[in-house]
Structure 1
Amino acid sequence: MPWASNTSISLICSKKWFETPDAVSFELEAINDDNSFDFKPGQFTSLGFSIDAEKHYRAYSISSTPNQSKLQFTVKRVPGGLVSNHIVEDLSVGDALEVMEPMGAFNSVECLPKSKVLMISAGCGVTPIMSMVGDWLESRKDIDIEFLHFAKEKQQVIYFDKLEGLDEQHANFNLKLVLENNVGTDYPQGLFDIDKLNAACPDFLERTVYLCGPVGFMEVVRISLDECGFDMDQFHQESFTPTSANDDKLDSNMGLATVSVADFGVELQVDKGSLLLDALEQGGVPVIAACRSGICGSCKCRVKVGQVESTSYETLSEQDRAEGFVLACSSKVTGDVEVGLN
């Protein structure tokens, strides 16, 4: 099923189940439509949920493989997380969701593999990795796959049974788990370090590496690989991670600025250094903000008058930038601005 750019389709939750005590998987499918979904393994999409009569968007990786009639996602509960907790606790079979066009450069089509790959994941970072692996196992029997996953304990390993099943069924798939708490198991214990990597995959220098997990975990892995002489052209990692609205914020003592959106009759004052996205949401402007990290492009808007300070231009073309388009989640208000959503 094709997506039109910058538009969404409505899909229905057809199945939901618990993977771990605090993570659920769910499937989405079209109503009265037998078409399959086309995307690149490893990509994410923005999902829109109706919560208390308001629409909230978040970006989640697709864990299923392309060209199926259903899309699968897995979401872990986040303390205080509005959408993640809604999904775990309240999402029900039959609920309708808005689904945006899949996006993301972290995929097995644009990031081509060698004949041998090493997949490294932790926590929910396993979701895009599973999509890539599933696609390779279905279509490319020649790829040798080492799968290294880190978790706190066995009960927290998402897709545990499926991973063990793949390990038993496919000679070219080799599963390695490392647990912080390995009591009652035969799996190695501890956190990531280069010694554990050597023990799990001695020929990792000969492989293409795909990495996804918490930000701190990915940084440790990246630095470790770089320091040991790994060819970083063969290193690929997921890049969309939620950012705090207060990160690297300009000094609010710089004064106030006016943000206006004429199309919605909005005009409000905010501290200079505030995120443009925060200002738009504060004014009730119906901007979509899914990844909130400058990657998905859903919060694209146009600064008609004034300037902002931007840190990301992902998905924006040179023409977009020349015409004043920015990503609201990655742009700080530095003075009075007039904004439009088109």
Structure 2
Amino acid sequence: MDAQWLYRLCPDLHQKDIFLCDPQSFMDTICQAAEQAKCDLSRLHREPFTPSHSSPSSPQVNATYYRINLPQFERYIQAASGQSILQALEAEGLPIIGACRNGICGSCKCKVHQGQIRTTTSGPLSEKERNEGYILACSSEPSSDLDISW
């Protein structure tokens, strides 16, 4: 992707506002192309869905491990302290959607039937859903063993 490709795609680019959304590398490439094309960068709007907190994808050396029971799959998995529930599920190849990965879209909604979690956001969840035990796997970490479903 470069400025020439961007102009072929949108010949009236200088007259437009540009709205970008993740992934970060895509947004960076478009920004560079818009800059090369001498577009008005004040008309360029970015919406990153990159987590503002950094959960490790691999556990820390002295991590505490929690057991996550997944009755619908008849499986148990482990999640390390500091690791999001979404990361733990994905690491085991379980079929969960994690679109925004920042607690905005709600695609990774899970229900905690037993156990305690730490969460940074509940974004699109209603108060009723939160009271019923629903969480967002991307922005929640276990703080005890868990039983969950989705």
In structure 2, C-alpha distance between the alignment counterparts of 1:264 and 1:285, rounded to whole Å = 9
Aligned-residue Cα RMSD (Å) equals 3.9
Q: Confirm whether residue 157 of structure 1 aligns to residue 37 of structure 2.
A: no
Letter in 2 for 1:311: T
Indicate how the Cα distance of structure 1 residues 177 and 305 shifts in structure 2: closer, same or farther if over 3 A, else same. Answer: closer
Q: 1:256 and 2:65 equivalent?
A: yes
Greater length-normalized contact order (CA 8 Å, ≥ 6 residues apart)? 2
Contact 2:66 2:144 in 1 (8 A): yes
TM-score, scaled to structure 1: 0.34
Cα distance in 1 for residues equivalent to 2:49 and 2:73: 30
Q: 2:56 aligns with which of 246, 260, 271?
A: 246
| Alignment of structure 1 residues 169-318 onto 2, 5 Å | 176-177=40-41, 212-213=45-46, 238=47, 240-243=48-51, 244-246=54-56, 253=62, 255-318=64-127
More strand, by proportion = 1
Q: Is the 8 A contact 1:252 1:273 kept in 2?
A: no
Gaps of 5+ in 1: 1-17, 27-41, 44-59, 62-74, 79-83, 85-121, 127-150, 164-175, 179-209, 214-237
Partner SS state of residue 326, structure 1: strand
State the shift of 1:280 in Å.
1.1
Q: Is the 8 A contact 1:266 1:283 kept in 2?
A: no
Deviation at residue 326 of structure 1 after TM alignment: 0.6
User: What runs of 5+ residues in structure 2 fail to find an aligned partner?
Assistant: 10-17
Please give the secondary structure, in 2, of the residue aligned with 1:212: strand
In the aligned structure 1, how far is the partner of 2:24 from the partner of 2:49?
Answer: 15
Distance 1:211 1:294, change over 3 A: farther
SS at structure 2 position matched to 1:269: strand
% same residue: 31
User: Per the alignment, in what secondary structure is the counterpart of residue 157 of structure 1?
Assistant: helix
SS of residue paired to 2:50: coil
Instruction: Quote the offset at 1:296 in angstroms.
Output: 1.1
Q: Which runs of 4+ in 1 moved over 6 A?
A: none
Residues 281, 22 of structure 1: alpha-carbon distance in 2 compared, 3 angstrom cutoff: farther
Write the mapping of 1:1-342 to structure 2, written as runs, cut at 5 A.
Answer: 18=1, 20=3, 61=21, 78=25, 123=28, 151-152=31-32, 156-157=33-34, 160=37, 176-177=40-41, 212-213=45-46, 238=47, 240-243=48-51, 244-246=54-56, 253=62, 255-341=64-150
Deviation at 1:257, TM superposition (A): 0.9
CA contact (8 A) 2:55 2:82 kept: no
Count of equivalent residues = 138
2-side partners of 1:335 and 1:177: how far apart?
47
Q: Determine which structure has more spread, i.e. the larger CA radius of gyration.
A: 1
